[in-house]
Structure 1
Amino acid sequence: MKKLLALTTALTVVAYAAQAETTLTVMSWGGAYGEAQTEGHVKPFMAKTGITTVMTDSDNPAPVIKSQVEAGNVTVDVASVEYADAIRLCDEGLLETIDPATLPAGADGTPATEDFLEGAITECGVSTDIWSNVFAYDSSKFPEGPKTAADFFDLEKFPGKRGLRKGAKAVLELALMGDGVPASEVYAVLGTPEGVDRAFAKLDTIKKDVVWWEAGAQAPQLLADGEVAMTTAYNGRIFAAAINEGKPFNIVWDGQIYENEMYVVPKGAPNMEQAMEFIRYATSTEGLRAQAQHISYGPARKSAMKEELLFKDGKTVMAPHLPTAPENLKNALLTSADFWVDRDAELNERFNAWLAAN
């Protein structure tokens, strides 16, 4: 009996030693978002498990994951990617599948498959939050402020440069809503050649006044530096600049384009078991609430919203700042992952040709 106990103890020590030597690598988007995931997920996960976990930044983790898996040199264990990229990479066999049955129940006991919002669990991904593409402005320059998607394109009423993310996704949708297409009809219109032409024609009206950005942290910085009068941005980045830095930035929710962000595991990740353990922790009720206390992205679990959610300052109520707040959803567009999985390459080729043309 003593020998069995000694053997069991020795094996446990070896297991913990091996776990302590593991370094789990999580890739995300940097800036305020990466900080929110570090504070809400990485640090408490390390404290709970003893697994050394590091956060690394990328302007867009999806292409990095694709190139690593295809080269057979995977160094990232968990990545935070956009919803359409999670679907596409999974379809291409570049991600590990995630069994929904392994995800923890909500804090109130609700099974994960019932607790998560519709669409928040896919074959290879689990939602970390619901975020939004919005546009924002400096209220010291426009006290009355723009109020609609159309105002973003009105250079006469609201003069000045415009910041836009460099790519077709969320830019073409905004262009159509700015041209009067209701959010509910955007993908039906954009799915036709005439609709694509209409979107680019709308972009033509501001093309000479656009400053293009690629990394999420650039958008609020362009606004802060006065390089643009208004800019599209990830809503959480604008919230962080306003709350943490006291910037006079306001968000226009009309025409917001929202979607789930997903944690995925690249095919052949070096620390597969620990990667899945991290995702289970990070997407628990506790993990999703913790992230949402650092940035204004909505938790994708119902149980995470059952109690009032406060910003890390303990005073700011988060609900009005989330993309999913009822007031913010009046003319909002849920990104169509299916549309972008099918049309991404084609529309970005058209976008790049348009960008290069005089």
Structure 2
Amino acid sequence: MKRDDCALAQDVEPVREAFRFDERRLAQWLRANVDEQAGTPQVSQFRGGQSNPTYRVDTARGSYVLRRKPPGDLLKGAHAVDREHRVLAALHKAAFPVPRVHALCLDRDVIGTEFYVMDRVEGRVFWNPRLPEVAAPQRAAYCDAMNETIARLHGIDPAAIGLADYGRTGGYFERQIARWSGQYRDDALAGRDPNMDRLAEWLPQHVPAGDETAISHGDFRCDNMIFHPTEPRVLAVLDWELSTLGHPLADFSYHAMMYRLPPSIMHGLLGEDLALLGLTSEADYVAAYARRTGRDGIPNYAFYIAFNMFRLAAILHGIKGRLLRGTASSARAVDMAKNVEPLAQLAWQQAELAMREAG
């Protein structure tokens, strides 16, 4: 199966050895908490989900997705499936495109770690932001659908849907820089990088003035969305492990960072002929988001990109550490871990650009 296959339903494999569990115990739990007619489930594992292992669960009555904490020693506060369950439930009630969640299990005796179960949404997942499966004249419409979806997310009032305490208000960049700097420094097994060290010192000293708070997805990418089978429409946004209350420009610039990453990192678009591909330009994409969220533009954009490259490098640094400890949950972990150093170098280049633009 090619990695760019857009059919989510096919992007599964037999459960990998390190992530197997007692499927009989799961069947009992499903019958008690989701569907009493569930019968004996058939379980397979999605190839994605490098942080929280994700499974397809087919029963006599339906098809579900199970997200769990990975087994093994985990960093404090990581892999919070209970938070994922909470934000999904709240957003589903607000008619934002997410799967319907059924139940959360905090009893580790069932499959070994906490998990939750949600509906499996039928549709397409695009692993490559070039959208090669879509005809070139239609690609801009898919770009616009992603743009509209993240703008809509940032327009939701957290308090209105019961998420007023889902994170702290204000000081988002300071907290995030401290968090990811700390996780990077604490994972001694994964080693140190000079650009990461430099960014950890520079970023907190150059946070732009002004503050905002919105629901932040934290990993908003095309491969974390399920699109309608034939239309440029987002049916579900997935993978909310990193979600919190945060600065919307941090969330958006992480998503738009694809324009400044090379193809070797997350299928980045740097150096591509976007017009030839039929994709929206970076300037137009940023302008569309600004328009939808009532902004004149996004000053200090290079800082936001530098911050997000640093944050992503810290996440990949954590994957590298889990790989060395034998707890990485994705077969792609080896390739992802190799990107820590080049990504940190790109992040520092964005920091230098931010300094030049600031004069």
- Higher strand fraction (1 or 2): 1
The structure number with the bigger radius of gyration is: 1
Tell which has more relative contact order, 1 or 2 (C-alpha 8 A, sep 6+). 1
Q: TM-score when scaled to structure 1? A: 0.24
Q: Normalising by structure 2, what TM-score?
A: 0.24
